[in-house]
């Protein structure tokens, strides 16, 4: 945290007025899901109260949304083999401990309430954040945390929140976002789920990276929703852009199948080590 010398206001060390962030935090709505409406159970209650290191270890007991792209082979940063090693490890590496200090991670955590507030104001929606970590009833190797959820036509709709850094902007097609703050132009989003194309091509259809496309598909599946949103704050022009993504059964099936096969390998290795 630093102080803006011109205004004497406290700001976060990447230039955002902390008072604005704190105001957004105060307006954040925390509410659990109605489990009668979703194929989920509560895995860990009040997950945000768990310290970061414990949370990182807890995530090893299943595949969260950020693991989905690795499972289906479209993550450019990690392989399935590396994911298996991570899930088997009982302690955090120094690299894992340092992840929370990365500026991009801190920006995302600090600014999530602010971005949610901007989405609510621009779309006249009520968003809430579930306090728990959830697990799929039918696919217990899959888990889910949500950034934000709204209700439209009596359906839960997921809204994934991200800060897009200067470096990361090259992975987005801003001409395909359905909404751009400060602009009257809109983009008509079409459903490509029936097309015989790859996951990478499906993601490109919506103008987003494959690893966020699969993450949102897991959230859509968790809520049995027809579509979901990515609400992205772009660092270069500090502009909110929102992408709409339709449910994609082919991608969801791939997450289910590859998740099952990979979890079987993890369990087999855990049993082998237990018997040594």
Residues 77-118: tens digit of each pLDDT: 999 999 999 999 988 777 766 665 656 666 667 788 889 999
Tokens encoding 8: 């004497």
pLDDT in the model for residue 90: 84
Task: Work out the percent of the chain whose per-residue pLDDT is above 70.
Answer: 86
Task: Report how far residue 96's alpha carbon sits from residue 78's, in angstroms, rounded to the nearest whole number.
Answer: 14
Query: How many other CB atoms are found less than 10 A from the CB of residue 103?
Result: 11
> Whole-model pTM?
0.88
Query: How many other CB atoms are found less than 10 A from the CB of residue 270?
Result: 12
**Of the given ranges (138-142, 163-167, 262-266), which has the lowest mean pLDDT?**
163-167
Q: Which residue has the higher pLDDT, 97 or 216?
A: 216
Task: Work out the percent of the chain whose per-residue pLDDT is above 90.
Answer: 67
pLDDT in the model for residue 10: 41
For 58, list phi and psi in degrees, rounded to 5: -60, -35
Q: Which residue has the higher pLDDT, 14 or 103?
A: 103
pLDDT in the model for residue 138: 98
Over range 21-44, report the average pLDDT. Answer: 86
Domain locations in the chain as residue ranges: 2-274
On whether the CB atoms of residues 158 and 148 are closer than 8 A, the answer is yes
Over range 4-10, report the average pLDDT. Answer: 35
Q: For the chain, what is the mean pLDDT?
A: 88
Task: Starting at the earlier edge strand, list the strands of the sheet with 179-180.
Answer: 148-152, 155-164, 227-234, 239-246, 179-180
Q: Which residues contact 6 (CB under 8 A, 6 or more apart)?
A: none
pLDDT in the model for residue 99: 62
Task: Report how far residue 253's alpha carbon sits from residue 207's, in angstroms, rounded to the nearest whole number.
Answer: 22
Q: Which residue has the higher pLDDT, 51 or 133?
A: 133
pLDDT in the model for residue 103: 61
Task: Give the containing element (helix H, strand E) for 94.
Answer: helix 94-99
In the predicted model, is pLDDT for residue 260 greater than 50? yes
pLDDT in the model for residue 31: 94
pLDDT in the model for residue 8: 38
**Of the given ranges (41-55, 63-77, 185-199), which has the lowest mean pLDDT?**
41-55
Is residue 40 helix, strand or coil? strand
CATH of the domain spanning 2-274: 3.90.320.10
Q: Which residues contact 190 (CB under 8 A, 6 or more apart)?
A: 205
């Amino acid at each position: 945290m630093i102080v803006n010398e011109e205004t004497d206001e406290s700001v976060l060390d990447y230039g955002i007025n902390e008072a604005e962030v704190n105001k957004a935090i105060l307006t954040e709505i925390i509410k659990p899901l109605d489990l009668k409406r979703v194929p989920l159970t509560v895995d860990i209650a009040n997950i945000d109260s768990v310290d970061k290191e414990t949370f990182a270890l807890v995530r090893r007991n299943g595949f969260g949304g950020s693991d989905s792209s690795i499972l289906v082979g479209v993550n450019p940063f990690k392989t399935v083999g590396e994911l298996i090693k991570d899930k088997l490890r009982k302690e955090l590496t120094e690299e894992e401990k340092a992840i929370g200090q990365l500026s991009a991670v801190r920006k995302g955590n600090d600014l999530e309430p602010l971005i949610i507030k901007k989405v609510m104001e621009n779309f006249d929606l009520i968003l809430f954040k579930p306090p728990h970590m959830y697990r799929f009833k039918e696919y217990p190797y899959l888990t889910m945390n949500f950034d934000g959820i709204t209700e439209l036509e009596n359906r839960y709709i997921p809204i994934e929140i991200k800060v897009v850094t200067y470096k990361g902007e090259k992975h987005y097609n801003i001409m395909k976002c359905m909404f751009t703050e400060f602009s009257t132009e809109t983009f008509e989003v079409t459903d490509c789920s029936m097309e015989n194309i790859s996951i990478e091509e499906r993601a490109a259809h919506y103008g987003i990276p494959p690893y966020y496309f699969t993450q949102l598909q897991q959230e859509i599946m968790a809520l049995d929703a027809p579509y979901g949103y990515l609400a992205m704050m772009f660092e270069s022009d500090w502009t909110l852009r929102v992408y709409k993504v339709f449910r994609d059964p082919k991608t969801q099936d791939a997450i289910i199948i590859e998740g099952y096969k990979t979890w079987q390998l993890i369990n087999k290795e855990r049993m082998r080590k237990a018997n040594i």
